[in-house]
Amino acid sequence: MRVLVTGGAGFVGSHVVDRLLGAGHAVDVIDNLATGRRDRLPAAARLHVCDLRDARLDGLQGIEALSGATIGIDQLFGLAPALAAALGLKIATEEGPLS
């Protein structure tokens, strides 16, 4: 499966990412690196440096990163505090809105 982890560079998120990669999944991470750290993530995880709140405000950079990260996603783990706000957005996948 292809899995998206928001807040994946954080304390909890990075452990989730490790477990998912270990189980053979492809992992995308959205994180603004506010408290997260790039060096927590193995090279196999694809990091999109993006603030979920920017995406909500239609920030171009955020939207582009979010779109790239959400295309083809099968499952989402939300560990960034702003996830609930972000889900108020239309996070679209090729299959339709992400829920």
What residue ranges bind ligand NAD (CB under 6 A)?
7, 9-13, 30-36, 51-53, 79-82
Contacts within 8 Å (CB) and 24+ apart, 55-59: 55/86, 55/89, 55/91, 56/85, 56/86, 56/88, 56/89
In the complex, least distance from residue 69 CB atom to ligand NAD, rounded to whole angstroms: 11
Q: Whose Cβ is closer to ligand NAD: residue 24's or residue 86's?
A: 86
Residue type, 41: L
In the complex, least distance from residue 1 CB atom to ligand NAD, rounded to whole angstroms: 22
Q: Write out the DSSP string of 45-99.
A: SEEEE--HHHHHTT-HHHHHHHHHHHTT--EEEE-STTHHHHHTS--EETTEE--
Q: Whose Cβ is closer to ligand NAD: residue 9's or residue 24's?
A: 9
Q: Whose Cβ is closer to ligand NAD: residue 24's or residue 67's?
A: 67
Q: Whose Cβ is closer to ligand NAD: residue 59's or residue 81's?
A: 81
In the complex, least distance from residue 57 CB atom to ligand NAD, rounded to whole angstroms: 11
